[in-house]
Structure 1
Amino acid sequence: MSDSEDLNCGSGGGDDRFFGLRVASIFIIGVGSISGALFPVLARRSSWLRVPKSLFDFAKYFGSGVIIATAFIHLLSPALEALGSPCLAEGWQDYPYALALCLLSIFSLFITEFLAFRWGTAKLAQIGAKHDAHGHNVGSHVNHGPEGGMRTTHDHEEGERITPRKTKESDSVRDAELGIVHSGGSTPSSLDSAWVQVIGIAILEFGVVLHSVLIGLTLAVDEDFRVLFVVLVFHQTFEGLGIGSRLAFLEFPGHPQYQKWFPILGALLYGITTPVGIAAGLGVRSTYNPGSTTASIVSGVMDSLSAGILIYTGLVELLAHEFLFNKEMMNASNGKLAYAIGSMLLGCGIMALLGRWA
């Protein structure tokens, strides 16, 4: 039989074996995903579950490694394969469209974030405040990432110093932690900084959610279901741990109502995406073929764009700001630095290894 006869580029062909186990995978993977994402959030706010800070640090850095490996091994590689499928027209073979779309996603995200920060900074300036969202001021002490915790103690450009007044000590400390420097009598809303964190988390979760839906669809009809199922249980749990460790440190100073529900909502949203994808795949299992022309194009494009999102977020928002631009980390002991980098490499290595099967 020729290669062309072996190809199934039509709309049908999804595997229908192990149907009961495929249905059970909706709940099993859902529990693993939600547990991984919710645990850091609930553990941080729990009064009876005393989780040491070192474990939170491990989850944070481990999750960063997971996210970066996901971008390259679990998104970009499948995108190259899908958009290079022999089922596609010859025009798709003439150019590395997956890499081009990934590049487009990276620069689109960069330009959008850059313009958003320019607009936000201008708005803060109008009310008499300056906010260095990425903590690049000379002499600033920063602990930046999507989880927040930004602190600025000096502003050398204007020669201004934050001097908390005794009558408003708590407000001044809060603004200092948010990286807000007052040059007048106005007090900007603390949500200005909080939404910076929300945008960072939303971008990260958007890329992960697209990926989770696609792998759910694939799992529902894939011929190698049993191997893929076992791998995805760990895959989604580790990825959830990475998302949850970021959500756990999301802060809304002065707005406890957002602080209470937003991280939990983000964890639940991540947790249900893969089960939704599996359920949708089971619903169309008689007509959905993940190797078909349409499915290859859709999954290839979505994986390429998601890869760009996670590459930018992982390397810029997580790696660069957690290490290079973080003076606390730059001045940390060799032991703490080795622990952080080792945790990150462990997460990256395990996730890259899982790419051997999924």
Structure 2
Amino acid sequence: MSDPDSECGNINNPDTFTGLRVASVFVILVCATGGTLFPILAKRSTWLHLPKSVFDFAKYFGSGVIIATAFIHLLSPALDELSSDCLSPRWSEYPYALALCLLSIMSIFILELVAFRWGTSRLQKIHVTHDTHGHEVGSHAAHGPEHSPPAKAVDDPEAQSIDLKPDDSAAAQIIGIAILEFGVLLHSVLIGLTLAVDEGFKILFVVIIFHQTFEGLGLGSRLAFIKLPPRYNFVPIAAALIYGISTPIGIAVGLGIRSTYNPGSATASIVSGVLDSLSAGILMYTGLVELLAHEFLFNKEMVNSSDGKLAYAIGSMLFGCGIMALLGKWA
């Protein structure tokens, strides 16, 4: 139902604030990239000695940001987009946004389960034990088996020849980074596209600066604690840089096609709704299962921590969740 004479078919993107819209590409690039890189570089720095409590705050704050992004900034818009008046009435006969979100959650679960079982079998071949629920301090969510020293020396030459557990662990961690990054990137490109053509540019611009900075801080705080072999140390930085350019790319594309792009059209609503739904599922699984469950319920340090430390962690998480949820009022 994209009749050119209807509101859904009209292209009426404003030509206002052209200079500021172009400048927003670079402003958001700096803010998003800086927010994501800071926790990573601070963690690796030998001269910037931040207290552990600061890193803990960033880590748990980031968990809250990711969860709020999934529900408020992805699933809610997806529900609106896939129930748009511009779509065929058939789209309103079934909750497609929720179904796609559910599909995404189940797909990520199955993918990780298969990867975990594969990793476990690899470790069993070389007689290395793993702890399913126990997580080391500051570790990322379990994207594969965690390793502990073998209980006895491995005498089997064949077993020694296939002792690839550092690379196996690295592959599992990188897959985890890719899953988290994928959910965040789709959302970032879409909001950049929206910013380029939105009529209420000024308010949205300010909100997206905070949005991308906080989301970057949340992503960066998770990337900072990924444990990888030295030769893979570039991966978190590369992930941060890719996130940093995602929204500017969306803005640049939006500026380039604003004379032909109609964000309210049926096609745009379907594409945005489907991508937002899938991304919401990814971040829900990552936030609730990988971050909250494994950081609070299955983390031995947290289980045995003092009430004050637990309250600090929960408070940090709720603060990040609350701030990001509040930003959903405007973007």
Q: Cα offset for 1:115? A: 1.0
The alpha-carbon distance between structure 1 residues 111 and 126, as it changes in their structure 2 partners (threshold 3 A), is same
**What residue is the counterpart of 1:257 in the other structure?**
231
Mapping of residues 73-88 of structure 1, within 5 Å: 73-88=72-87
Partner of 1:348: 321
Do the aligned residues in 2 keep the contact of 1:147 with 1:249 (CA within 8 Å)? Answer: no
1:195 maps to 2:165: no
Quick one: which of 224, 237, 251 aligns to 2:213?
237
Which of 215, 227, 235 pairs up with 2:203? 227
TM-score, structure 1 normalization: 0.85
Residue 53 in 1 paired to residue 52 in 2? yes
Question: Aligned AA for 1:258?
Answer: Y
Aligned-partner Cα distance in 1 for 2:198–2:129: 53
Letter in 2 for 1:339: Y
Q: Conserved in 2, the CA contact under 8 Å of 1:29 and 1:275?
A: yes
Corresponding residue for residue 17 of structure 2 = 18
Change (3 A) 1:201 1:221: same
Residue of structure 2 in register with 1:272 after alignment: 245
The CA RMSD over aligned residues, in Å, is 2.3
Task: Report matched runs for 1:126-141 at 5 Å.
Answer: 126-132=125-131, 135-136=132-133, 140=134
Residues in 2 aligned to 1:181 and 1:113: alpha-carbon distance in whole angstroms? 27
TM-score (norm 2): 0.92
* Counterpart code for 1:210: L
> Structure 2: 5+ residue runs without aligned partners?
none
How many equivalent pairs are there?
Answer: 323
Q: Percent identity?
A: 67
- The 8 Å contact of residues 98 and 304 in structure 1, kept in 2 or not, is answered as yes
Query: Which whole-Å CA distance do the structure 1 matches of 2:249 and 2:152 have between them?
Result: 47
In the alignment, the residues of structure 1 paired with residue 151 and residue 101 of structure 2 have an alpha-carbon distance, to the nearest angstrom, of 37
Distance 1:277 1:100, change over 3 A: same
- Decide whether the 8 Å contact of 1:124 with 1:130 is kept in 2: yes
Q: Is the 8 A contact 2:123 2:165 kept in 1?
A: no
Q: Relative to structure 1, is the Cα distance of residues 245 and 141 closer, same or farther in structure 2, using a 3 angstrom cutoff?
A: closer
Quote the Cα distance in structure 2 between the aligned partners of 1:112 and 1:222.
Answer: 37
Q: Distance in 1 between matches of 2:61 and 2:317?
A: 4
Conservation of the 8 A alpha-carbon contact between 1:39 and 1:244: yes
Match runs of 1:330-349 below 5 Å: 330-349=303-322
Paired residue for 1:146, among 140, 145, 154? 140
Give the corresponding residue for 1:205. 181
Gaps of 5+ in 1: 153-174
Asked if structure 2 preserves the Cα contact closer than 8 Å seen for 1:40 and 1:244, the reply is yes
**Whole-angstrom CA distance in 2 between matches of 1:11 and 1:331:** 60
Contact 1:11–1:287 (Cα < 8 Å) also in 2 = no
Relative distance call for 1:27 and 1:122 in structure 2 (3 A) is: same
